[in-house]
Amino acid sequence: MSYQALYRVWRPKNFEDVVGQTHITRTLQNAIEQDKFSHAYLFSGPRGTGKTSAAKIFAKAVNCEKAPAKEPCNECNACLGIQDGSISDVIEIDAASNNGVEQIREIRDKVKYAPSAVPYKVYIIDEVHMLSMGAFNALLKTLEEPPRHVIFILATTEPHKIPLTIISRCQRFDFKRISQKAMVDRMETITQAEEISIARDALEIVALTAEGGMRDALSLLDQAISYSEEEVTIDDVLAVTGSVSQAKLAEVIRSLDEQDVKGALSAVDDLIQQGKDPGRFVFDLIYYLRDLLLFQTAPDLEHHLERAIPDDTFRGLAGKLTADWIQKAIRELNQCQQEMKWTTSPKVFIEIAMLNMVEVQPAPQAQQGSAVDSEAVQQLSQKIAELEKNLEALKQNGAPPQEGTKPKPKRAPARSGRKGYNIPYERIRLVLSEASKEEIKNVQSRWADFMEALKRNNAPAHATLLNSKPRAASSKALVLAFRYDIHCSLALEHQNTIEPLLTEYVGKPLSIIPIPEPNWQELREEYVRTQKASPAEDGEDSEGGGESAPSNEEDPLISEARKLVGDDLMEIEE
């Protein structure tokens, strides 16, 4: 096989080629030049950041025929032999497959023999955290006092798994994630040398997907080159990485800003149908919102943007959205990201997050809604004046005022628009007829503890009930109101989890009956009107399990006020 992957062809051969780790390479160069290097090193950090490459360069530099020097010459027999692996004095060991005591004892026995071809024998132990405790103990004494001709370099991605007794015997260097700019610059150098035509925007998407690992970035670049034809385009990179285009992200954000739930959910559905990774989509959306927030705060920091390219659409959204809404949307998506880890239905959580993001939408800006606000204030002022006039007439005459505000004709509650869920109106009316305040207070007093237990037992079920509210309760059933009818269907999917746990906390078996909040309000109003038309014999509240309803023989002054301003704005004092 003649072809080699890019990350192998372009593996660093000098300290200068190790991208984004200047704090380490400079220290090692000075130590080699001054002949003050240690007998043991620990290189730790994320994958693909140059740990093993730096170890091999270090082995070449200390054994180079032109040493001491800051860089290996890569021309002498020692450098070339170490580079192609023909010199046996530089030994690379994979601790993942050689993690037993016997392998380490073998190293310990061979350490005492002098190198055969170069001045220093170098042991590079990769993924050293995979060694067993017995192997670590066998390595301890040798690592602390090896012969003068031996150097140990331990490399790991999980330093917290290494015993402190090992760490204390090494000089530790922490490799950090490589910045996006450094990776893009390195990939530009490689693609120019390989005569590959690719846009910088496409390289930025590759760098973002690699999440700080140069090896991952070059592997993805290799895939994109194989996928493309003559030129590597942004669409090629998006197809390979599973990322979402900036135009699609902007479309989703714009739909949410305009409270176009249908448009946002349709866009999400299209992306899932195209095979895009739901987790990647949420990740990209968070970073796009982060860039919008950063650009709003400091437009001069364009070069610090992680995901977005500041085009006209991006600038338009940055000027339109408020910082408060962006922050709340990021928190909502972050919660969605956490919950998606434990579910096999990530699309459902994305849809719930979208609905919640529409709910946190701020009030329209003054310049866009000043006319609407003015009209609303004028209507409210007229209503208040009319109310004051009618109240004054009632006080003076003790009778209802002349017909000016007739009650609205009775209408049936609106049916849910979702085909998958039909609201059981008759069951809810039966619950209302049997409901009592004691039952709903019992549920409400234990609701917080129940939700906490549900979160521990079943995160998806907890997320479904997060925006619900107990509205009415009888001895056998509980009416739960939700923001949207989609939540009602989801609640019924988790019914077998919710009801047994609710029974445990309430002390009696209750079946849940979901209903969207708007439909609940209309059904409640209908029930109140029915009770007023046929007064209850016992004289108690007509709706014992929900919010307080008016008494059967209500003061005409209160009735008229209720018609004009509604229950939410009215407060009755004895």
Q: What tokens does 465 get?
A: 């009930």
Asked if 224 and 5 count as a contact pair (C-beta separation under 8 A), the reply is no
Task: Write down the CATH superfamily of domain 425-565.
Answer: DnaA, N-terminal domain (3.30.300.180)
Say yes or no: domain 180-241 is CATH 1.10.8.60. yes
Q: For the domain covering 246-359, report its CATH number.
A: 1.20.272.10
Enumerate the H helices of 111-179 as residue ranges. Answer: 133-144, 164-167
Residues pairing with 198 in the sheet: 232
d(CA 428, CA 513): 7
Q: ∠ at Cα 62 (60, 68), nearest 5°?
A: 120
**How do the domains of the chain map onto residue ranges?**
6-174, 180-241, 246-359, 425-565
| Phi, psi angle pair for 285, to nearest 5° | -65, -40
d(CA 261, CA 105): 65
Q: What is the pLDDT along the chain (574 residues), one digit of tens a residue?
A: 567 888 888 999 999 999 989 999 999 999 999 988 999 999 999 999 999 999 999 999 999 998 888 899 989 999 999 998 888 899 999 988 888 888 888 888 888 889 888 999 999 999 999 999 999 998 888 888 888 999 999 999 999 999 999 999 999 999 999 988 899 999 999 999 988 899 888 898 888 888 889 999 999 999 999 888 888 888 888 888 887 888 888 889 988 888 888 888 888 888 888 888 888 889 889 988 988 888 888 877 766 777 777 778 888 888 888 888 899 999 999 989 888 888 788 888 888 888 888 865 554 444 444 444 556 667 777 777 777 777 777 766 655 544 444 444 444 444 444 445 688 888 888 888 888 888 888 888 888 888 888 888 888 888 888 878 898 888 889 998 988 778 888 888 888 888 888 888 888 888 889 998 888 888 888 888 887 776 544 444 444 455 444 444 556 666 666 666 665 556 666 5
Q: For the domain covering 6-174, report its CATH number.
A: 3.40.50.300
The model's pTM is 0.59
The structure tokens 């990485």 sit at 241
A 10 A CB-CB count for 440 gives 22
Helices (H) and strands (E) in the chain, counts: 25, 8
How would you class 410 by CB atoms within 10 Å of its CB: exposed for 0-12, middle for 13-18, buried for 19 or more?
exposed
State CA 446 to chain mean position distance: 30
d(CA 452, CA 462): 8
